[in-house]
Amino acid sequence: MLLEFLKFNFNVYFRHMLVYITRITFGRAKRPKMEDISVLHVSRSFIVVNKRHDILINIDKEEGMSELPVSVENQLKTRFPHLVNSNLVHSFHFCHRLDYSTSGVLAVALTKEAAKEAMLVFQNRLTHKYYLALLRGHLDQEYTVINKGIGKDTRENFTHCMCTEDKGYCSFPKKAVTQIIVLQRGLYANSPATKVLLKPITGRRHQLRVHCNFIGHTVVGDYTYSNRRDLAPYRMFLHAYRLVLPTKLELVDVSTCDPFSEDDPKNKWTPLETLNTLDCCVFSEFPNCDVLKI
């Protein structure tokens, strides 16, 4: 078991480093720094930050390292040393996770009570999470709901991957539902692409990436689910845009700016057609779970 654990973590680390080095070299990505984190909300119960892409939430310092590795945990420890909880292995109560390559809203509880309240809200699916993404190709339908279970990919050399339940190599699939609204159709680096707003109803590992791949529109820059081919972009274009966390202690409702704007030349995004505007009204376009009968 120990050997398998070490092998798994080495493979994941190696793949992260391969993607990272390639994007630094060819995709004009910038190396993450300890100060690459912005605080969106602070209260007695929670800190909400805007996580940078291509950074782990926590990672242990290996023997021989001269400096702390850049992670969200170490960024928070550097900026808020007085809030570190020495009783926790990773210093803070992280309420949820974001993939290494995914940027955006990340909530951190500051007390044991807040962590418990957040856990209950997530377990009871009372949160509302919204993600922005650029997808390969043009989605025909303005609104799509994907109801397809997700499980572990049991193929050799795919130990860190997930897949949909229709695959013969899918192990222990669990129910997974994602809603998608098209914001714009256009071009990414002169190739057809679609900007979308996604709302996961469930919270399976890699859910949004797997579901987008399932419908034939992989997230731009998703190395893992593009059959390890999409390395040219400087990042994976998936971002946690808004989080609504209705706890008994407080209502946390935090959004970021749009990181995939056409105004930023490194995004290489050119919108050709706008179907929905990214404003406060667009969130009401998603039907609730009662309508979906989930």
**What is the number of other CB atoms lying within 10 angstroms of the CB of residue 168?**
7
Q: How confident is the model at residue 21 (pLDDT cuts 50, 70, 90)?
A: low
Please list, in sequence order, all residues whose beta carbon lies within 8 angstroms of the beta carbon of residue 55, skipping any fewer than 6 positions away.
32, 36, 70, 71, 72, 100
Query: HSE (CB half, 13 Å, CA atoms) of 173?
Result: 18
pLDDT at 6 over 70: no
Residue 10 above 50 pLDDT? no
Q: What percent of the chain is modeled with pLDDT above 90? A: 77
- Mean pLDDT score, 51-77: 82
> What's the confidence (pLDDT) of residue 2?
41
Q: Across the strands, what pairs with 131?
A: 198, 240
Split at pLDDT 50, 70, 90, the class of 69 is confident
- For the annotated catalytic residues, the residue numbers are 99
Query: What confidence tens digit (pLDDT) does each residue in 194-242 have?
Result: 999 999 999 999 999 999 999 999 999 999 999 888 999 999 999 999 9
Q: Please, are residues 282 and 276 in contact by the beta-carbon 8 Å criterion?
A: yes
Whole-number pLDDT of residue 265: 96
Q: Domain coordinates of the chain in residue numbers?
A: 2-292
Task: Give a three-class secondary structure readout of 136-152.
Answer: ECCCCCCEEEEECCEEE
Sign of CA dihedral 63, 69, 71, 76: positive
Fold of 2-292: Pseudouridine synthase (3.30.2350)
Q: How confident is the model at residue 160 (pLDDT cuts 50, 70, 90)?
A: confident
**DSSP letters for the chain:** -HHHHHHHHHHHHHHHHHHHHHHHHHS------TT--EEEEE-SSEEEEEEPSS-BS--PPPTT-SSPPPBHHHHHHHH-GGG--TTSTTSSEE-S---TT-EEEEEEESSHHHHHHHHHHHHTT--EEEEEEEEES--S-SEEEEE--EEEE-STT-TT-EEETTSTTEEEEE--EEEEEEEEEEEETTEEEEEEEEEESS--TTHHHHHHHHTT-PBTT-TGGGTS----SSS--EEEEEEEEE-SS-EEEEE---TT-TTSGGG-EEEEEESS-SSTTGGGGS--HHHHT-
Q: Is the pLDDT of residue 101 over 80?
A: yes
Residue 7 has pLDDT above 70, yes or no: no
pLDDT above 80 for 20? no
The CA–CA distances, whole Å, from 277 to 50, 53, 122, 183, 281 equal 22, 24, 28, 6, 8
- Please state the rounded mean pLDDT for residues 160-189: 97
Measured CA to CA, the distance from residue 237 to residue 136 in angstroms comes to 10
- Average pLDDT of 110-139? 97
